[in-house]
Structure 1
Amino acid sequence: MAQRLFLFFLHIVERITYNNEESGFSVIKIKAKGFPELVTVVGNLAAVNVGAVLRLKGEWKHDSKYGRQFSAADYRETVPATIAGIEKYLGSGLIKGIGPVNARRIVRYFKENTLKIIEESPDELVKVEGIGTKRVEMIKKAWTEQKEIKNIMLFLQSSGVSTAYAIKIFKTYGNESISIVKNNPYRLADDIWGIGFKTADKIAQQLGFDKESYERCRSGIMYVLSELSNQGHCYATRTQLISEAVKILDAGEPLLERTLDQMINEKSVILKEDFSHYF
């Protein structure tokens, strides 16, 4: 019998048991409505912190060693709304300069407005006992960095990028992730292992990229060369390359002829001296 898909809406991260910073794979414990004990969740959960409120999509699985677990295929994060949730969120180590003690002091002082204060009027934090101007500057910097990471992840996920790929993209491009993906999503196929032309093309179409753009045609031709290489070919003829690219890109031959000529000029592909073979 096939496993059912479940949606967990707005549940709180209580503990992070394991996190691999390179791959983004994590094991977390969440407090979920209808479950008396904490639920174990596994999956690519990059930039998730204790106290965060998650919307998870996935399925139940049974691990032979660890038992029943919820395997998350996707997630979305929102900030906590309750005082207790905000305190746990800030005290998790998310923001450099705010540990559990300072988190408690800040939340006691600003209550439900805490996150709004940090976002809009962080200099007011000096009103809290034990927090001076140097610490405020540290908090402001750390808050901005974390916000940038979360904005990038949100943008990538909303653009049709899976969580696993979003992690790879962020690891590769860092704070430039959004601008690079917006300007030329086909770079992903060149730069990131595991993301090929078809995945990059899907992302590009989600972003409204022109199907006849040079970037798309170039990437499609490179994909054809790669596929021919995987089949054991050492080169491709011009006719063969254009013919296969037409099928992949659903584009006209004249456009692809111009694209290939530009690629030759840029030395993206190498043309043999007798003008018959492309590498």
Structure 2
Amino acid sequence: MEITGEITDIIYQNEINSYTVAEFETQDGNITIVGYLPFINAGDTLKLIGKIVTHQDYGEQFKIDTFEKLMPQTLTSLEHYLSNGTIKGIGPATAKKIVDTFGEETIHVLKFEPEKLSNIKGINKEKAISISETFIENWELWQIVGYLEKFGIGVQNAKNVYEKLGINAIEEIEENPYILIDIANNVDFKKIDKMAMNLGMPYNYEKRIKSGIKYGIMCATTNGHCKVQKENLITFCKELLEISNEEVEENIIQLKAKNEIVEEDNWIYLSYFFDAENNIAQRIQILQNSQNTKKIENIKKEMKKTEQSSEIELSEKQKEAINAINENNVCIITGGPRNWKNNYYKNSNRII
């Protein structure tokens, strides 16, 4: 389902991932919209694709799948857009003056003849140029968002790409499409690779192979792993990139030299995963070596009290686990579903 309209009010927006709840005005009336809308403000005109859903507390809403930012369709919506705070130096009063003065030519003036803005009281030539530059920069940002959709990079990731590469993102990506592997999550390597091939990059292009190696490791991390066996990684990259084992191994060596990946006991990590694991291990070691201030000397007596007060009889295994918790600062209890891990936790909390 597709709808077009204007955001009249933003009810909520997450500063980290840009998940937004907003009021949206269409020709058919107002509706609440929900979804990821980075770089969006009240007054923006959007084309949304999604579906109507019913929230148990808030009623009917339009859930956004994808969206496109449009140039304001009417002078009223253009005035709202200019006054929404995204262009420094333009408030509601100035926005009204600009639209009243230039009418249908407003966008043309902002883009191509900004010096004319200085004819409006309160805007000098320097401010006019600044207003024009901000207007154009904001619009170029949306070219980047649309461009990234070709790679399957959604609006959440587009914000991250823009923040890393800035307004020249498209030029930088076209120069080296594989840069997206490093700065965006869950990208489609095959789409990036196809674009690079269309740009004339060879199969044995160094950046292609290195990005393929990092992509292979990232594929493993999406399945919950922090590392991948070297032999498996080489096989994966050889098939993905259609290159030789030797070429993969040579680029693994180069990535290790640059500290972008780490090899340990024939396992390959991305450097930041290796550092994270080391950091966790060090913190656990510090905690384990600290004084055990929670230790209860007569733990058996306390367990018996807890059994009586909670009317639960602890098994030998449960007692063993609670003893381990009492004796150690760090204790890991493992097991599959329905093996009473929660009971260990609850009972040890009552005792210790």
Do they fold alike, i.e. is TM over 0.5?
yes
User: What is the CA-CA distance between 1:256 and the residue it aligns to?
Assistant: 3.0
Q: What are the Cα deviations for residues 116-166 of structure 1, in whole angstroms up to 9, with x where unaligned? A: 111111111122233333532442343243233233223223454211221
Whether 1:18 and 2:15 are equivalent positions in the alignment is no
Q: 85-94 vs 249-258, which deviates more?
A: 249-258
TM norm structure 1: 0.79
- The residue aligned with 1:202 is 191
Matches within 5 A, 1:157-172: 157-172=149-164
1:96 to 88, 102, 108: 88
Structure with the greater alpha carbon radius of gyration:
2
- The residue aligned with 1:31 is 25
User: What is the CA-CA distance between 1:62 and the residue it aligns to?
Assistant: 1.8
Hey, what's the Cα distance between the residues in 1 that align with 2:225 and 2:119?
A: 69
Whether 1:236 and 2:229 are equivalent positions in the alignment is yes
User: What is the CA-CA distance between 1:112 and the residue it aligns to?
Assistant: 0.5
Write the letter of the residue equivalent to 1:25.
Y
CA gap 1:231/1:20 in 2 versus in 1, 3 angstroms? closer
TM norm structure 2: 0.64
Structure 1: stretches of 5+ with no match in the other structure: 1-5
Matches within 5 A, 1:1-279: 6-8=1-3, 10-33=4-27, 35=28, 37-192=29-184, 195-196=185-186, 199-206=188-195, 208=198, 210=201, 212=203, 213-225=205-217, 236-237=229-230, 239-263=231-255, 266=258, 268-269=260-261, 277=266, 279=268
Does the 8 Å contact 2:83/2:95 carry over to 1?
Answer: yes
CA gap 1:58/1:257 in 2 versus in 1, 3 angstroms? same
CA gap 1:204/1:22 in 2 versus in 1, 3 angstroms? farther
What SS does the corresponding residue of 2:188 show, helix, strand or coil? Answer: helix
Structure 2: stretches of 5+ with no match in the other structure: 269-352
Write the letter of the residue equivalent to 1:277.
N
What SS does the corresponding residue of 1:69 show, helix, strand or coil? Answer: strand
User: What is the CA-CA distance between 1:104 and the residue it aligns to?
Assistant: 1.1
User: What is the CA-CA distance between 1:44 and the residue it aligns to?
Assistant: 1.4
User: What is the CA-CA distance between 1:188 and the residue it aligns to?
Assistant: 3.1
- The residue aligned with 2:328 is none
User: What is the CA-CA distance between 1:106 and the residue it aligns to?
Assistant: 1.2
Write the letter of the residue equivalent to 2:43.
G
Does the 8 Å contact 2:210/2:255 carry over to 1?
Answer: yes
User: What is the CA-CA distance between 1:76 and the residue it aligns to?
Assistant: 1.1
Hey, what's the Cα distance between the residues in 2 that align with 1:97 and 1:146?
A: 15
What SS does the corresponding residue of 2:41 show, helix, strand or coil? Answer: coil
Q: What are the Cα deviations for residues 199-244 of structure 1, in whole angstroms up to 9, with x where unaligned? A: 344344356464723323222223434556767686734x443223
Does the 8 Å contact 1:225/1:236 carry over to 2?
Answer: no
What SS does the corresponding residue of 1:151 show, helix, strand or coil? Answer: helix
User: What is the CA-CA distance between 1:25 and the residue it aligns to?
Assistant: 1.7
CA gap 1:101/1:248 in 2 versus in 1, 3 angstroms? same
Does the 8 Å contact 1:160/1:203 carry over to 2?
Answer: no
What SS does the corresponding residue of 2:83 show, helix, strand or coil? Answer: helix
User: What is the CA-CA distance between 1:277 and the residue it aligns to?
Assistant: 3.5
Write the letter of the residue equivalent to 2:32.
T
Write the letter of the residue equivalent to 1:24.
S
What SS does the corresponding residue of 1:241 show, helix, strand or coil? Answer: helix
Q: 104-113 vs 258-267, which deviates more?
A: 258-267
Q: How many pairs were matched up?
A: 264
